[in-house]
Structure 1
Amino acid sequence: MFNGLADWWDGVELWLAQAPFPVQFVLVMVVVVPLCLVAAWLLDALFGKVARVFGAARDANDSDRSS
């Protein structure tokens, strides 16, 4: 199964490398840019949640020290 997937990917890669530049550009704009935007949104949400957790813990420590 893995060999079949690797062979398929090699074919796609060869086709893309041999495609004219305008086709490559359109594929990047249609496929890669949306994937990057989704990845950036997910990472922002994840790191925002982590920052809130650690920020709340730090705020609790700071209020303990001031008492």
Structure 2
Amino acid sequence: MFAGLANWWDKAELWLTQLWFPLQFVLVIAVLGPLCLGVAWLIDRIVDRVAAWLRPSRDEDCPPRP
């Protein structure tokens, strides 16, 4: 199974490296652009949730009124 995957990857890599450079650039951006945006969105959501979990609640922020 891994030999088949390795052969496929070698063929895809060889095909990509033989393309004209501007076309390589467009293909890489078309794949990595959405992938990077998705990872950035996921990291943002995780940081927001961790920050909300570590932040004191609103009741703890305000001192009690007399």
TM-score, scaled to structure 2 = 0.76
Distance 1:56 1:10, change over 3 A: farther
- CA RMSD after TM alignment: 2.1
Aligned pairs, number: 61
- In structure 2, the partner of 1:22 is 22
Instruction: Give the letter for the 2:46 counterpart.
Output: L
- In structure 1, the partner of 2:47 is 47
SS at match of 2:31: helix
Separation in 1 of the partners of 2:56 and 2:21?
A: 50
Separation in 2 of the partners of 1:50 and 1:13?
A: 39
Separation in 2 of the partners of 1:14 and 1:56?
A: 54
Instruction: Give the letter for the 2:8 counterpart.
Output: W
Runs of 4+ aligned residues of structure 1 deviating over 6 Å after TM superposition are none
- Structure that is richer in helix per residue: 1
Identity %: 53
The CA deviation string for residues 4-63 of structure 1, in whole angstroms up to 9 with x for no partner, is 011101111111112111111110221111110011001110111011111237xx5x88
Instruction: Give the letter for the 2:45 counterpart.
Output: A
SS at match of 1:56: coil
TM-score, scaled to structure 1 = 0.75
- In structure 2, the partner of 1:36 is 36
